[in-house]
Chain A
Amino acid sequence: DAGITQSPRHKVTETGTPVTLRCHQTENHRYMYWYRQDPGHGLRLIHYSYGVKDTDKGEVSDGYSVSRSKTEDFLLTLESATSSQTSVYFCAIKGVGGDEQYFGPGTRLTVT
């Protein structure tokens, strides 16, 4: 258990509405990541953060924004949700002293 929680765990929302997913960690890890997982695609990086207010894009960042105002929280925002953003979203942190990443339990998001 890497001390990662995600909220909400499940959400159903309508097309065009804004959605914010939260990732919280309790161990002061510098690096945090947001991935999405879809059948047939595997896990894909959306955005990552390497410190407070320091973020960068991943391979599927269009339609998503992130913010990190505190070390422990990394927020993922869908400004205007679309059906193509229906997915399972995972947050991850980088381990101390290595490059492995540890994942949270995930958020299942359905956009109708």
Chain B
Amino acid sequence: EDQVTQSPEALRLQEGESSSLNCSYTVSGLRGLFWYRQDPGKGPEFLFTLYSAGEEKEKERLKATLTKKESFLHITAPKPEDSATYLCAVHQGGSEKLVFGKGTKLTVNP
């Protein structure tokens, strides 16, 4: 069964304190791995797609990386506005289904 596990469940950082979120997955025939940001009371907002091991994508203070078994979302010098829940999802080849992890709730204190 396809599984996506995100860790930690919650993370508190001070403004400027860099860290990483982890998404480990087990899926046969990975077609893509996706990162989303979700603010309270809103729908998930698409951030990145990664397709193959070694691939990296960057957007402002965020950088996503992918290996054969996991992905990391690196947050460099975070600001309070980066506070949100970050979701990871994987897409298996031959299926329309995205399997989501339960998310990491990030809080950045000023």
Contact of B34 among A33, A56, A100 (CB under 8 A): A100
Asked if B31 is an interface residue, CB under 8 A from chain A, the answer is yes
Q: How far is the CA of A42 from the CA of B3 in the complex (A)?
A: 12
Asked if A75 is an interface residue, CB under 8 A from chain B, the answer is no
Number of A residues near B (Cβ < 8 Å) is 25
**Known contacts A42-B103, A90-B43, A90-B44; is-contact A100 B49 (Cβ 8 Å):** yes
Min distance, Cβ A50 to any Cβ of chain B, angstroms: 7
Min distance, Cβ B1 to any Cβ of chain A, angstroms: 10
* Interface bin, chain B: 20 to 34
Q: How far is the CA of A56 from the CA of B91 in the complex (A)?
A: 17
- Asked whether, in the complex, the Cβ of A42 is within 8 Å of the Cβ of B87, the reply is yes
**Known contacts A42-B87, A99-B91; is-contact A104 B100 (Cβ 8 Å):** no
A interface footprint on B39-50 (CB within 8 Å = 1, 0 otherwise): 001111110010
B interface footprint on A21-43 (CB within 8 Å = 1, 0 otherwise): 00000000001010000001111
- Contacting residues, chain B, for A42 (C-beta < 8 A): 4, 87, 100-103
Contact of A101 among B31, B42, B46, B102 (CB under 8 A): B46
Q: Which residues between 60 and 100 of chain B lie within 8 Å of chain A, taking CB atoms?
A: 87, 89, 91, 96-98, 100
Interface residues in chain A, defined as those with a beta carbon under 8 Å from any beta carbon in chain B: 31, 33, 40-45, 48, 50, 56, 58-59, 90, 92, 95, 98-106
